[in-house]
Amino acid sequence: MIIDLQKFIANGRPFWNELEAMLSRLEAEPDLRMPLRQVQLFHQLYERTAADLAKITTFSSEPETRRYLENLVARAYGEIHETRDQQRRIFPLRWFFQTLPQTFRKHIRAFYLSVAITLAGCAFGGLAIAFDPDAKPVLMPFSHLLQDPARRVAEEENATTDRLAGHKTEFSAELMTHNTKISIFTLALGMTWGVGTIIMLFYNGVILGAVCVDYVHAGQTKFLMGWLMPHGVIEIPAILIAGQAGLLLALALIGRGTRAPLAARLREISGDLATLIGGVGVMLVWAGFIEAFLSQYHEPVIPYGVKIAFGFVELILLGLFLARSGANQKPETKDPDA
Partner 1 sequence: MKTSTLFIRTPEGIVFSQLLAGPVTRFFAWFIDQLCIGAAMSLLSSLFGLLGLFSLNFAVALNVIAYFVVGVGYGIFFEWTWRGQTIGKKLFRLRVVDGEGMRLQFNQIVVRNLLRFVDELPAFYFVGGLTCWLNRKCQRLGDIAANTVVIRAPRLAEPDLDQLLAGKFNSLRQFPHLAARLRQNVSPAEADTALQALLRRDEFDPVARVELFGELALHFRAKVEFPAEATDGVADEQFLRNVVDVIYRSPAKHPAAPQLH
Q: Which residues make up the interface to partner 1 (CB under 8 A)?
A: 2, 5-6, 9, 27, 47, 50-51, 53-54, 57, 59-64, 66-68, 70-71, 73-74, 77-79, 81-82, 84, 87, 166-170, 172-174, 176-177, 180-181, 184-185, 187-192, 196, 249, 263, 266-267, 270-271, 273-274, 277-278
Q: Report CA torsion sign: 164, 168, 174, 179.
A: positive
The Cα 231–Cα 296 span in angstroms is: 10
Cα angle value 160/165/166 (rounded, 5°): 160
The Cα 83–Cα 87 span in angstroms is: 12
Would you say 114 or 180 has its CB closer to partner 1? 180
Q: Check whether the bond before 261 is cis (ω within 30° of 0).
A: no
The Cα 59–Cα 9 span in angstroms is: 12
The Cα 4–Cα 220 span in angstroms is: 90
CB 60 to partner 1: min, Å: 5
Would you say 82 or 134 has its CB closer to partner 1? 82
Region for 303 from its dihedrals, namely left if φ exceeds 0, alpha if ψ lies in -120 to 50, beta otherwise: beta
CB 225 to partner 1: min, Å: 28
Cβ neighbours of residue 258 closer than 8 Å, sequence gap 6 or more: 265
The Cα 107–Cα 325 span in angstroms is: 15
Q: What is the CA radius of gyration of the chain?
A: 28
Would you say 13 or 151 has its CB closer to partner 1? 13
Would you say 202 or 215 has its CB closer to partner 1? 202
Would you say 19 or 128 has its CB closer to partner 1? 19
CB 274 to partner 1: min, Å: 4
Would you say 73 or 240 has its CB closer to partner 1? 73
CB 112 to partner 1: min, Å: 23
CB 31 to partner 1: min, Å: 13
CB 44 to partner 1: min, Å: 12
The Cα 113–Cα 180 span in angstroms is: 21
